[in-house]
A and B are shown apart, each in its own frame.
Chain A
Amino acid sequence: MNIIYMDNNATTKIAPEVLEAMMPYLTDYYGNASSMHSFGGVVGRELNAAREKVAALINAEPGEIIFTSCGTESDSTAIHAAIRSQPEKKHIITTRVEHPAIKNLVEYLGKNGYRVTWVPVDKTGVLDLDYLYGHLSDDTAVVSIMWANNESGVIFPIDDIAETLLARGIVFHSDAVQAVGKIPVDVKKTGLNMLSLSGHKIHAPKGVGALYVKKGTRFSPFMIGGHQERNRRGGTENTASIIGLGRACELAGTHLAEIVTRVRALRDRLENGLLEKVPNALLNGKKDARLPNTTNISFEYIEGEAILLMMDQLGICASSGSACTSGSLEPSHVLRAMGVPFTAAHGSVRFSLSTYNTEKEVNFVVENLPPIIERLRNMSPFWKEGACKVQ
């Protein structure tokens, strides 16, 4: 069976070019970049080249890039650096729709001496900026706001927020794991202090990420150990993956134009096709403020897991904002924050495309998903003859 992979916000395929760039460093060139001998030195030079490529994608200086093991480590490093270097400040601001990497970390800090402000979003997933600006204080140690939301795809106005925060001298971090490689990200133009990115969301392998730290930002390491990454992150470098990340960033730069044109057109075709063919289907997220690859659609009166498993039978991979487990019966915190009603939240499906998707695949989904929805609705006690029976 052919796999139609439309779950690229969860993870991506390793690009063949990336794997090719990595292979020598998994086989022949196994030296340690810190070694004195030239066998290790070769690897060290390649790490620096990778650092330049990562920096180039987001318009940073190579010296502002710290390699980490993943997006979560980048996020944790950023938040800890901000609070440790300003121990007198006890207030953190973030949003109600962050990825667990920030959400759970900030919740933990909230139980350990920090005051937390959670900025809400409206029903289209757009951030309440007045609320954010109204809660800034001299006690605010850090503001952390994702660049784009992984579930709804909604992009937050990071440039505007950075301008306000910089003027007040408040440290600003953004989890840009979903944005980098999908939309232009320019740290010089934005001026924020720290930014997280992850390899496996942009066709590099899992287990590698990076943190941008603007020159002049007060920093304190999270992983304490050796002198690697100029004493900012201990631990022998994951050389092959870092080199892979460098190549992936290079590719992401060249593919950006294709994502904002061809991939966006595919996404629109998929979205419009499904919304037209399926009654009681609703779009989650502000239509014109989203990542070009993401669409999140709620199919009312049915449950997400059932939709996913029926699609799975056809080789279609997507994800749902409703986790039907006893422990978390509620829809995802993102859909709840957006106030999506229960009738719709349980049946939400997110499709996230990449440059590897084709029009043929999109057509296949548009053709085969509506009968699945109909089948499940015919089983549902809340659905009768094309209309809602019970609210």
Chain B
Amino acid sequence: MWEYTDKVKDHFLNPRNVGAVDDPDGVGEVGSMACGDALKLTFKLDENKRIKEAKFQTFGCASAIASSSALTEMLIGKTLEEAEKITNDDIADYLGGLPKEKMHCSVLGRDALEKAIYCYRGEGEKEIDGNIVCECFGVTDKEIERTVAENRLTTIEEVTHYIKAGGGCEKCHEDIQKILDAFNNKTPEAAPAKKELTNIQKIRLIEETLDREIKPALQKDGGNIELIDVDGSRVLVKLIGTCATCKASQLTLKNYVEIRLQEMVSTDLVVEEVK
């Protein structure tokens, strides 16, 4: 059960301005059935170029319907210049807030509004701005950048809550992280710096990691590990005690020792056993 505000419930149960305006000045359609929500917004201007009428048709959950209803109420009486300034946050605020997993409903409203205004100005279909990052939901880098900036987002999860990007196959998570890092002024992981280790530094770091973490863990099971040599990216080790006879020792080497050393020392390391 979602924790909706009374205002969300009111706009869902008694939606304002449902339908389509006759002979509209602007039409904005966003979303699709596959996405799980879709909104068609229509508006008409009066002689002073203020929005006289705004109506919506929405396929979606309660908060999608409430966000659409709220948007139409906010639009009526505004000039297009004023309307343009409405952000998804304004829509959510108007409703007394939305659960964070439902923020994309307010973004849907903003996008439909933007399209409807484009349509009125005769700019036709707004061209895709930027490059598609999330292929599942067709979200571009520009859209992600804008949403991250407007809402000061810091995690991929938040980005997904707001504009769905990253909510499908998750292949784009790395790209979304880069956008987040760029906005939040973070330098990407210092991986390149690690690669510049001298051979001596590398061996020392491997030894340290083995002594601090890996040996104690293996000793618990009655085993141990000894560093024999480091040849470029090849780490040659010898398994001792129960590890030497354990059937799962290759699993331990690859899934634990190698991964841990890659994390702590250098991503190109390969661990090999010497008998």
Contact = CB atoms under 8 A, between A and B. Distances in A.
Interface in A318-367: 322, 324-330, 342-343, 346
Contact of B157 (A305, A310, A327, A382): A327
B34 A326 contact: no
B259 interface: no
A324 B33 contact: no
B38 A381 contact: yes
A313 interface: yes
A113 interface: yes
A302 B59 contact: yes
Nearest to A313: B13
Contact of A327 (B29, B33, B57, B167): B167
Interface stretch (B99-107, B142-150, B191-199, B221-229): B99-107
A305 B105 CA distance: 13
B39 A305 contact: no
Nearest to B165: A326
A303 B102 CA distance: 14
Contact of B61 (A113, A306, A343, A378): A306
A10 to B, nearest CB: 12
Contacts of B59: 301-303, 379-382
A303 B58 CA distance: 10
B62 interface: yes
A306 B12 contact: yes
B103 A326 contact: yes
Interface in B54-70: 56-62, 64-65
B5 to A, nearest CB: 14
B40 A381 contact: yes
Contacts of B164: 326, 329
B86 interface: no
Interface residues of A, number: 28
Contact of A325 (B38, B102, B137): B102
Contacts of A166: none
Contact of B13 (A310, A322, A346): A310
B251 interface: yes
A196 B79 CA distance: 63
Contacts of B33: 301, 342-343, 346, 382, 390-391
Contacts, number: 83
Given A303-B36, A303-B37, A380 B58 contact: yes
B240 interface: no
Interface string B21-36: 0000000010001111
A380 B206 CA distance: 61
A326 B161 contact: yes
B101 A379 contact: no
A168 to B, nearest CB: 26
Contacts of B35: 329
A306 B64 CA distance: 9
Nearest to A309: B62
B216 interface: no
B160 interface: yes
Contacts of B56: 379
A104 B102 CA distance: 25
Interface in B177-220: none
A309 B64 CA distance: 13
Of the candidates B29, B59, B60, B101, the one having the most CB atoms from chain A within 10 angstroms of its own CB is B59
Contacts of A380: 57-59
B15 interface: yes
Contacts of A327: 101, 157, 160-161, 167
Contacts of A304: 61
Given A306-B60, A327-B160, A322 B36 contact: yes
B246 to A, nearest CB: 12
A325 B162 CA distance: 11
Interface in B34-51: 34-40
Interface string A377-391: 011111000000011
Nearest to A347: B59
Of the candidates A325, A381, A390, the one having the most CB atoms from chain B within 10 angstroms of its own CB is A381
B130 interface: no
Interface in B235-258: 251
22 contacts: A113-B251, A301-B33, A306-B12, A306-B65, A309-B62, A310-B13, A324-B61, A325-B102, A326-B101, A326-B161, A326-B167, A327-B157, A327-B160, A329-B35, A329-B36, A329-B137, A342-B34, A379-B15, A380-B58, A381-B29, A381-B57, A391-B33
Interface of A: 113, 301-306, 309-310, 313, 322, 324-330, 342-343, 346, 378-382, 390-391
Closest 5 CB pairs of A and B: A324-B61, A381-B57, A305-B61, A381-B40, A325-B101
